Amino acid sequence: MVNILEAIKQAKEQKVSVLCLNELCISAYGLEDDYFCLDVSKRSLLKLKEILPYTTNLIVSVGLPIIFNNSLFNAVATIVNGKVVGFTCKQHLAGDGIFYEFRWFRPWPTGVVQTIDIPELGGSFPIGDIHFNIGGIKYGYEICEDSFVANRPGAILASKGVNVILNPSASNFSFGKLNIRKNLVIDGSRAFGVVYIYSNLVGNESGRVIFDGGTIIASGGNLLTIGKRFTYQNVLLTTAVVDVEGTRTSQVRTASFQPDIEQYNQGCVKVDDFCYPDINERLTTAPVQEDWELDGDVKHEECTRAIGLALMDYMRKSHTKGFTISLSGGADSAMVTYLCSMGIKLGCDELGVKRFVEKFCPQLVNCIQSVSASENAEEITINRLVKNLITTAYQSTENSGKETFNAANILADALHVNHFNFNVQPVFDQYKKIGAMAKGSELTFEDDDITLQNLQARSRSPSIWILANMEQKLLLTTSNMSEAAVGYATMDGDTSGCVAPIAGLPKVYIREYLNWVFHRGPNGFGFPAMEYIVIQDPTAELRPSQYKQTDEDDLMPYWLLHKIETMVVKNRYTPVEIYQTLKVSIQYDNNQLIKDITKFFNLFSRNQWKRERYALSFHMDDHNLDPRTWCRTPILTGGYEEELGELAQFIERK
């Protein structure tokens, strides 16, 4: 509510006429089953009533859930000059990928208009597939998913002479998705001959999903402006002066434009008493984008900003005081620690240190006040914040190597985190004694390999939890998507924690990202301390050194694992289809390829129970393995026995 009123205040200060806020902005978008609580809709209407007095001389669209005829609808209230003039309902609900809107809402049928009595607002209002003629300019809506479907409402709105399409959205971040949105907005503005205004939610609203913002305004096929993405601000207003007469002219002279004369005013709510200010400013013609968005490394930049912002929001909304990470000296924990520190630094860069602290970590106000004025005072202050907010620990056993010890300590020092070195060998030894008592003889890696590896990983969990609990911080796990696919993780060991920031990223990308950080990074100058991470072969260090354990020896090459995982999870290929595809597309030993495909399917099917227990992860790409947001797979299955049997028969026939 505070943010909505602040947006309205800023809009008035900037002499805005039309303000489009994001989807379900009153209630919040990610309430999930809380939408079933009738009080949510009632309370949203009361909040809507509170907003009205602040909206004089404005047209404002505000999203909220509406109950009509014992059904729940995702709606937008259109406010004109302090009065609600109607509710437009979403026609196409998002039901793929990470979205399950059909669980809570009903799609509104095209062309249907009804009347709803709302005692909270003291009257009756048109609701449904409606658009508005406000002061001689026609406005219509495509609400988020409405614009992603083939039969998008914009075509019908254009045939009814709509001049401006508003799109209040809650479109999640994934790599490269901005280009999809840009195309939808630009193409929509061109095809429909309209001004198109797209607003989007930003931040980590409810845990797993990251929203990147990025308001887009286009007119007649021309991109006018794009708002900043991944902002740390509570409110970010993106504005442009638009030429409505120009889009009308475009419709008049476009031969393919076909007005629907018979239904021209059907579903149209007319509001005469609104005056638009005279504007003599030049039209905005150049899209406003930050330099990093135009860079060839935009994927790595997006990753840094998305996870950094998500972590800061999660810390703030969970009322915790920072992050704790088991820094092993390997790639995964290095990336998690680096992203935490970048989240702090990027937030301070945008908001300034004082505002960042007030918003995200008010308990550290004294920390920044005690820094004396000097040439590099801000850098010192940010480093102090990092040290206060991030605690790491390297937890060694007799199987830990000098390389990982050095890498962890050098990285911790370079990032300015609060770092500890713990020797957990005594804990490991004590647990081994308990195991020996039960077995009746000493546990050995020859006879008890998995038991000892898991035991060693679990020996690290209590001490890192102690740090997290003592400092009231979030314990971050360092699991990645490749490990999750095959269950290459120890439950209650390295999976211990609250949030798994990189569990939506495959290992091949993590290594690529860290190489980028080392050579270039967000600052363009690289990060030398990351060299000690990137030169290592990934290893769990859970066996004695003479075993020369590496992850890829235990599993398969990570690049191959990622290819198979993508074909299984995203494309739903069978073992035979994967073999046929990879045999001709990669250079790899044929017999080993068959073994690795078989190994993947066996491990994937047997380890769904682990994926069910992983800490929540952020959705980063167009697919992931989190069973609560994307990949729903039965815990108990037939283990692909028939499909793998077909692979064996296929090979025999060849």
Pairing of strands 216-219, 195-200: antiparallel
pLDDT at site 629: 82
> Residues in the chain, how many?
654
Angle, alpha carbons 30-32-36 (nearest 5°): 130
pLDDT at site 334: 97
Out of 322-326, 471-475, 522-526, 531-535, pick the least confident.
522-526
* Position 285 confidence tier, pLDDT thresholds 50, 70, 90: low
In this predicted structure, the answer to whether residue 585 has a pLDDT above a threshold of 80 is yes
Q: pLDDT tens, 369-383?
A: 766 555 567 888 899
Q: pLDDT tens, 86-134?
A: 999 999 999 877 888 999 999 999 999 999 999 999 999 999 999 999 9
pLDDT at site 654: 67
Q: For the chain, give the mean pLDDT.
A: 92
Q: pLDDT tens, 482-521?
A: 999 999 999 999 999 999 999 999 999 999 999 999 999 8
CB atoms within 10 A of CB 599: 15
Are 568 and 604 in contact by the 8 Å Cβ rule? The answer is: yes
Q: pLDDT tens, 224-251?
A: 999 999 999 999 999 999 988 888 887 7
List every span in the chain annotated with CATH 1.10.10: 556-654
Residue 602: both structure tokens together: 């066996």
In this predicted structure, the answer to whether residue 34 has a pLDDT above a threshold of 90 is yes
pLDDT at site 355: 94
The one-letter amino acid code at 547 reads Y
Phi and psi, residue 465, nearest 5°: -65, -35
pLDDT at site 390: 98
Q: pLDDT tens, 522-555?
A: 888 899 999 999 998 877 667 777 767 788 888 9
* Position 350 confidence tier, pLDDT thresholds 50, 70, 90: very high
pLDDT at site 412: 97
CATH architecture of 556-654: Orthogonal Bundle (1.10)
Q: What is the 3-state secondary structure (H, E, C) of 234-290?
A: CCCCCCCCCCHHHHHHHHHHCCCCCCCCCCCCCCEEEECCCCCCCCCCCCCCCCCCC
pLDDT at site 357: 94
> Tokens 């290592």 map to which residue?
536
CATH architecture of 2-289: 4-Layer Sandwich (3.60)
Residue 7: both structure tokens together: 């947006």
List every span in the chain annotated with CATH 3.60.110.10: 2-289
pLDDT at site 292: 87
pLDDT at site 253: 73
* Straight-line distance from the first to the last Cα atom of the chain, in angstroms, rounded to the nearest whole number: 66
Torsion from C-alpha of 589, 592, 593, 599, nearest 10 degrees: -170
For every residue of 556-595, DSSP letters joined together read --HHHHHHHHIIIIIS---HHHHHHHHHHHS---HHHHHH
pTM for this model (two decimals): 0.93
448 by DSSP, 3-state: which? Answer: coil
